[in-house]
Structure 1
Amino acid sequence: MTDPHVTGADAWLLHHGDRVIARLTVTGSDMPWTHAEVEPLTGFEEFRPLFVEQERAVDDEDWERADACYTRIRGALSMTFPDGGPVAEFMLRVHDDGTAGWRWHDEPFDTTNP
C-alpha cells in the first residue's frame, strides 16, 4: 500500500506554537515508521535535550521514562504533512545523527479507553 504522505524527498514540518522549528525531509519508510533527515531551524535546540533523554530512555528500555518524554514532546510540538495539513497524532524520535523516525495517524489516539 502506498502512503500518499510519504513520497521521495517530501518535507514534513515540526512546529512549536506558530513557529516551524525543524524540517523533516523523508528518506524512506518501513511501515509503520517514516524516516527523514532533520534540518533544525530556530527554536529546535530548546527541544534537543528532550529528544536525547527520550533516546537514552529507549536505549535503557526505561519505557516509563520514554512515555513521559513522548507526552512532553506531544504537549509542546505539532507536525504538518508536506501539503501543510495537520498530523493528528505522531510518535517522533530524533536521533543524534541528524535523522528522525516517526509513526503517525490521521486521527488522535483515544487515551480514554485502555
Structure 2
Amino acid sequence: MAHYRVIRNGVLLGTLTRTGSDIPWWEGEFDPTPEFGLVRSLFDHERELLDADENIDAWGTAWDELSVGHVLQPLDGREPITEFLLHIEENGRRASWRY
C-alpha cells in the first residue's frame, strides 16, 4: 500500500511505498505515473551530482530547481509535506526521502 503521493505543480508523478529506513532517510519503492517521464531527467541529473560528491553547490542548485512545486501528500490524512529531499534511483523504481 502506498504511503505518499509525489506531486509537482499539481501533477501526480507517482507514489512512494515505505519498505525500510536508514535513519534519517526513509527507503522504498517508487511507482511512477507516465507524467514522471517529463521530469525524470531532472531526477537523474540530481542523483548524478549527488553520487559524484564533488560539488555540493551544484547539487544544491539542481535540487532547488527540481523541488519547485513538489509536495509529498501522505495518504493517511496528514498535512502535505512541502520541505523534503527525495532521491529516485536511475531505474526509476527505488527511492529514498526525508523530511
- TM-score above 0.5, yes or no: yes
Q: Which residue of 1 aligns with 2:25?
A: 33
CA contact 2:43–2:87 (8 Å) conserved in 1: yes
Higher relative contact order, structure no. (Cα contacts within 8 Å, ≥ 6 residues apart): 2
Q: Which residue of 2 aligns with 1:94?
A: 88
Q: Secondary structure at the match of 1:43?
A: helix
**Overall identity of the aligned pairs, in %:** 25
Question: Equivalents in 1 of 2:82, 2:46: separation in Å?
Answer: 21
* TM-score, with length taken from structure 2: 0.86
Aligned length, in residue pairs: 96
Give structure 1 regions of 4+ aligned residues with deviation exceeding 4 angstroms.
none
Where in structure 2 are there 5+ consecutive unaligned residues? none
- Structure that is richer in helix per residue: 2
The match for 1:47 among 23, 27, 39 is 39
Question: Equivalents in 2 of 1:10, 1:45: separation in Å?
Answer: 20
Q: Is the aligned partner of 1:76 residue 2:69?
A: yes
- Seen in structure 2, the aligned counterparts of structure 1 residues 78 and 88 have a Cα distance that, compared at 3 Å, is closer
Q: Structure 1 counterpart of 2:94, which letter?
A: T
User: Superposition RMSD on alpha carbons, in Å?
Assistant: 1.5
Displacement of 1:88 in angstroms is 3.3
Deviating more after overlay: 69-78 vs 30-39: 69-78
* TM-score, with length taken from structure 1: 0.76
Q: Secondary structure at the match of 1:89?
A: coil
Q: Structure 2 counterpart of 1:73, which letter?
A: L
For the pair shown, the structure with the greater C-alpha radius of gyration is: 1
Displacement of 1:103 in angstroms is 0.9
Displacement of 1:10 in angstroms is 4.2
